Structure 1
């Protein structure tokens, strides 16, 4: 999920592969954190299927209505259940708090299976970022802030 190129050993983009870009910045108005995936050539049907599955998981959580007092730990499975139906999962949290001028991953809230029980509240900024990673094949994550 978090590829870090090594000097002289960075992966080269190849026809048929996907490029995952996780970027963001800190500005006077707030912090950004966004992930997108681009195809280096026309996407295969498998790539489109996996991307669409991740997008469906993202939308499921982004559009979820929940009562006051609900924690990120309770909401994590909303996105994952879309993945689970397809026999997929990911090994990172579904979302994290985002600060301003501090750390982009900032609590007290998180959306993850083993997160704190801190309820989400109005005014909290959180990412939603389900993904799928198939070793040696591809990685797909779609991340937005809410």
Structure 2
């Protein structure tokens, strides 16, 4: 990637926050229907729905999880903050594959020395392998 190359970014798929919000509404509805007057069941349903809704809000507020430009990588930091990792701080870009329950999960790992940043397929809207290849191609030669 040269100095005139545009930035590239990866974001949460737009359908994911909608699915999370629908799940939160479903949890509250089921809690109201099946709590049978038990305040603990209803409170647990509302608590789970609030957590799911909070997760959806994060996806709406900060949909871009990873971006690359000539200066380096910008990663999500905290709930909705951003952090620039200059290329000099990026030690390794790797994809971790692990078999679980007959399926293989992939995680993009960006090692920045003092911090490790992990991204899954639903964080990026693309496969971690595709993103890793794009990041390696964008990285300036050392």
Do both proteins adopt the same fold according to a TM-score greater than 0.5, normalized to the shorter chain? Answer: no
Higher percent of residues as helix: 2
State the TM-score, normalizing by the size of structure 2. 0.29
TM-score by length of 1: 0.28
CA radius of gyration, larger in? 2
The structure where strand makes up a greater share of residues is 2
